Structure 1
Amino acid sequence: MFSGMMFIFAPLVVGYLIAVSNSKLLDQINAMTARLVFVILALMGLSLAALDNLSQNLQTILSYTATFFICLGLCNIAVLPLVDKLIPLETDAKHTQLPLSSMAMESLKLILVVGGGLVVGLMLPFDLSWVDTASEWILFILLFFIGIQLRNSGLTLKQILINKQGMCIAALVIVSSLVGGAIAAWILDIDLYRGFAMASGFGWYSLAGILMGDAFGPVYGGASFMLELLRELVALVLIPLVIRTRPCTAIGYAGATAMDFTLPVIQTTGGVRCVPVAIVSGFILSLLVPVLMLFFVSLAG
């Protein structure tokens, strides 16, 4: 049952065992990871083009995206204020106007890459049977590089364990997301473990979409990608609005992106005291995305 999970999970573990002290080499790995994400998202678009009944499948993708987004979001927002109440985080919040439009453009580029792959696949009459195999091999390389990035993120186990807010935020995001995933699976009448897998992306749209697409096909891959991307875009708007009064809620809704993409927004609007909490919670969630998602994928069969 776990053979498929271990086959995909192995490059992540191997990468995590590699410590890189050369900053230039680490920058090259980061750049290569970003390029591979663009390549594999373009292949996702090609996979969508190869589907029969494309219009119906696109409706399914939108339906899955909307259902999971609402269920996960409501469950997250329902419990995250508990951290603000029980373990309050003092902030030095600033009333700062951020160029959110420019940050949203970075997310839009990824949508255009998937859309570009879809258009190319529809317009050019060539065989697309090689796409799934190519995606799997690129996925292995991508997971290897992601493992190296996580190992060299600069966080020690001690730094994670002493940050109570960060750990509590991550724990509540995980539990509430799984509850939301179960509710969404019930509403959509799909396998429970597929619902858990969909709920385990925590905002990491590129990896979540790739893993779900590899496991269950382009419909689930596309829905997972859109779900997590939509979460990130909403987080960019939500964080400046609520971080002054409920910083832990704002950080938690950002999910895995709290340690990278949305971190500048958190730091600028919430102040430097929010940064360690965001990095710890984001790191834990980032580390658990492939672990939980591949685990539930293996149970779903």
Structure 2
Amino acid sequence: MYSGLLIILLPLIVGYFIPVKRPTLLHLVNNLLSWMVYVILFIMGVSLAFLDNLSANLLMIFKYTAFFFVCILAVNLLALWLLERRKPWKTKHHQEVLPSRLHMALDSLRLCFVVVAGFLLGLTQWHWLTYASQASEAALIFLLLLVGAQLGNSSLTLRQIVLNRRGMLVASVGAIASLGGGMIAALCLGLPLKTGLAMASGYGWYSLSGIVLTDSFGPVIGSAAFFNDLARELCAIMLIPTLVRSNRSSALGLCGATSMDFTLPVLQRSGGLDMVPAAVVHGFLLSLLAPVLMAVFSS
């Protein structure tokens, strides 16, 4: 149990306290982080190809993905709708011209092609590909080190986080609701509750959830976690402009950890500049919480 926690938390903590003052170095960290996502997803695809009884397992991945996505989405939307009713988030902002949602969706789907490419290579069953699990662990440690450095050198201070009550509130409600949805999905599928909680702890961070859960539960659960979180991001991109008109909390909460980066432009143009601080705080908190919860529930 503790070794799994250590593998995830130690590089994250070490990276968090590494000072990266020069903008060029921070830019390098961000670029390396982007490339590591592709490397990890490629390795995950390779691991998937080594599954026994492949066709049955692919159907299981689809089934798990569908159940978890629907349950987590439904519970999130319900909880955030109730939050909006109790504490309305009002604004006078009018939507700006939105970035191409099709283009953003295609960017996300490109990640699927990386997994497929790894899967196709894995089908060759070359001997050296059997080391994919060791490679994924090394890649995960490096990824978490970079993530820690990125979070530790962000412009957010503790005071800014505490002062932005809406970002904290939506993050708290969304985090708990996702875990509830994961538990419901696990019960429906006959999976252990810890597996359901681990699946729900990705909060849209598909690159991390995919590889962490692959290491802990195997390629089936890991792949389902990846596709579940990727589907969440795609859903957020499509629904934000509609949701933000009537339920700003739902629009933000649906983004999960991606609200501080990938979905931030859509949130800003749909919800206005006053939504940006809450979105950054929301994404920052979930980005810190996701690896910790996945480590706990995967151990």
Does 2:116 correspond to 1:118?
no
Scaled by the length of structure 1, the TM-score of the pair is: 0.96
Q: How much has 1:164 moved relative to structure 2?
A: 1.1
Q: Which residue of 1 aligns with 2:58?
A: 58
Q: Report SS of the residue matched to 1:12.
A: helix
Q: Which residue of 2 aligns with 1:230?
A: 231
Q: Which residue of 2 aligns with 1:37?
A: 37
Whole-angstrom distance in 2 between the partners of 1:265 and 1:204: 17
The superposition leaves residues 182-220 of structure 1 with CA deviations (integer Å, 9 ceiling, x where unpaired) of: 111111111111110001010111111111111111111
Q: Report SS of the residue matched to 2:89.
A: coil
Q: Which residue of 1 aligns with 2:9?
A: 9
Whole-angstrom distance in 1 between the partners of 2:98 and 2:285: 29
Whole-angstrom distance in 1 between the partners of 2:85 and 2:55: 46
Q: Report SS of the residue matched to 2:25.
A: helix
Q: Which residue of 1 aligns with 2:79?
A: 79
Q: Report SS of the residue matched to 1:51.
A: coil
Amino acid at match of 1:246: N
Q: How much has 1:228 moved relative to structure 2?
A: 0.2
Q: How much has 1:73 moved relative to structure 2?
A: 0.6
Whole-angstrom distance in 1 between the partners of 2:8 and 2:81: 36
Q: 1:46 to 1:238 in 2, by over 3 A?
A: same
Whole-angstrom distance in 1 between the partners of 2:289 and 2:298: 14
Moved more, 266-275 or 89-98: 89-98
The superposition leaves residues 140-193 of structure 1 with CA deviations (integer Å, 9 ceiling, x where unpaired) of: 111000000111121111111111111110111111111111111111111111
Q: Report SS of the residue matched to 1:15.
A: helix
Q: How much has 1:87 moved relative to structure 2?
A: 3.0
Whole-angstrom distance in 2 between the partners of 1:5 and 1:243: 37
Q: How much has 1:8 moved relative to structure 2?
A: 2.7
Q: How much has 1:126 moved relative to structure 2?
A: 3.6
Q: Which residue of 2 aligns with 1:274?
A: 275
The superposition leaves residues 47-106 of structure 1 with CA deviations (integer Å, 9 ceiling, x where unpaired) of: 011111111110110011000001101100001023323333233131534311111111
Pairs within 5 Å for 1:141-290: 141-290=142-291
Q: Report SS of the residue matched to 2:203.
A: coil
Pairs within 5 Å for 1:99-110: 99-110=100-111
Q: What stretches of structure 1 of length at least 5 have no aligned partner?
A: none
Whole-angstrom distance in 2 between the partners of 1:153 and 1:63: 38
Contact in 1 for aligned 2:241/2:266 (Cα 8 Å): yes
Contact in 1 for aligned 2:99/2:265 (Cα 8 Å): no
Contact in 1 for aligned 2:237/2:266 (Cα 8 Å): yes
Contact in 2 for aligned 1:49/1:121 (Cα 8 Å): yes
Q: Identity over aligned residues, as a percent?
A: 48
Whole-angstrom distance in 1 between the partners of 2:63 and 2:147: 30
Q: Report SS of the residue matched to 2:33.
A: helix
Amino acid at match of 2:135: A
Amino acid at match of 1:70: V
Whole-angstrom distance in 2 between the partners of 1:20 and 1:131: 31
Q: Report SS of the residue matched to 1:129.
A: helix
Whole-angstrom distance in 1 between the partners of 2:11 and 2:237: 32
Whole-angstrom distance in 2 between the partners of 1:275 and 1:61: 35
Q: How much has 1:255 moved relative to structure 2?
A: 0.7
Q: What stretches of structure 2 of length at least 5 have no aligned partner?
A: none
Report how many aligned residue pairs link the two structures: 298
Contact in 2 for aligned 1:90/1:273 (Cα 8 Å): no
Q: How much has 1:127 moved relative to structure 2?
A: 4.3
Amino acid at match of 1:47: S
Amino acid at match of 2:119: L
Whole-angstrom distance in 1 between the partners of 2:102 and 2:51: 33
The superposition leaves residues 93-121 of structure 1 with CA deviations (integer Å, 9 ceiling, x where unpaired) of: 31534311111111111100000011111
Q: Which residue of 2 aligns with 1:135?
A: 136
After the TM superposition, which segments of 4 or more aligned residues of structure 1 sit over 6 Å from their partners? none
Whole-angstrom distance in 2 between the partners of 1:160 and 1:220: 33
Whole-angstrom distance in 2 between the partners of 1:241 and 1:153: 30
The superposition leaves residues 219-256 of structure 1 with CA deviations (integer Å, 9 ceiling, x where unpaired) of: 11100000000000010011011102211110011111
Pairs within 5 Å for 1:288-299: 288-298=289-299
Whole-angstrom distance in 1 between the partners of 2:103 and 2:49: 29
